[in-house]
Chain A
Amino acid sequence: MRPELLKGHLDALLLAVLEPGPQHGYAVIESLRSGSDGALDLPTGTVYPALHRLERAGLIASDWQTVGGRRRRAYHLTQAGHIALTEQRALWDQFSTAVTALLKRRTWPATA
Chain B
Amino acid sequence: MASDRLATSTGTRPKDALAAYLSDLAVQLPGPRRRRDAILTELRDGLEQAMQDRIATGLPRDRAAAAAISQFGSPHAVADAFGGELTTAYARRTIVWFIVTGPLVGIWWLLLLHLSPWRTGLIALVAAIPVIPLIIAAIATAGGTLATTGRLMRWLPETGPRRALAATIAIAMLCMIIDLTMITMITVIMVSSAPTRPLMIIASAASLIRIVCSITIVQHAIRMRV
Report which A residues bind B (CB closer than 8 A).
24-27, 29-30, 43-46, 48-49, 52-53, 56-59, 67, 70-73, 80, 84
> A43-B73, A53-B85, A70-B48 in contact; A48/B154 too (CB < 8 A)?
no
Residue B80 interfacial (CB < 8 Å): yes
A88 to B6, CA, bound (A): 39
| Residues of B with C-beta under 8 A to A45 | 73, 77-78, 80-82
Contact between A44 and B88, CB atoms less than 8 A apart:
no
CB < 8 Å neighbour of B42 from A25, A30, A57, A84:
A25
A94 to B81, CA, bound (A): 31
Beyond the given A25-B43, A30-B53, A84-B154, could you list 8 further A-B residue pairs with CB under 8 A, ordered by the A residue number?
A: A27-B49, A44-B43, A44-B46, A45-B81, A46-B81, A49-B81, A52-B85, A59-B154
In the A-B complex, list the 10 residue pairs whose CB atoms are closest, starting with the nearest. A45-B81, A26-B46, A58-B151, A44-B72, A73-B42, A52-B85, A26-B49, A72-B45, A49-B85, A70-B45
A58 to B41, CA, bound (A): 22
A44 to B151, CA, bound (A): 24
Contact between B45 and A71, CB atoms less than 8 A apart:
yes
Return B22 CB to nearest CB of chain A, in Å. 12
B76 to A, closest residue via Cβ: A45
| Residues of A with C-beta under 8 A to B77 | 43, 45
Q: Mark B31-50, 1 if CB is under 8 A from A, else 0.
A: 00000001101111110111
Residue B191 interfacial (CB < 8 Å): no
A51 to B149, CA, bound (A): 14
Return B64 CB to nearest CB of chain A, in Å. 14
| Residues of A with C-beta under 8 A to B78 | 44-45
Most buried by B among A24, A45, A67: A45
Q: List, sorted by A's number, 8 A–B pairs whose CB atoms are closer than 8 Å.
A: A25-B42, A43-B77, A45-B81, A45-B82, A48-B81, A57-B154, A58-B151, A70-B48
Contact between B82 and A49, CB atoms less than 8 A apart:
yes
Return B69 CB to nearest CB of chain A, in Å. 10
| Residues of A with C-beta under 8 A to B72 | 43-44
A72 to B, closest residue via Cβ: B45
Contact between B43 and A48, CB atoms less than 8 A apart:
yes
Contact between A24 and B45, CB atoms less than 8 A apart:
yes
Contact between A48 and B42, CB atoms less than 8 A apart:
yes
| Residues of B with C-beta under 8 A to A43 | 72-73, 77, 81
| Residues of B with C-beta under 8 A to A24 | 42, 45-46, 49
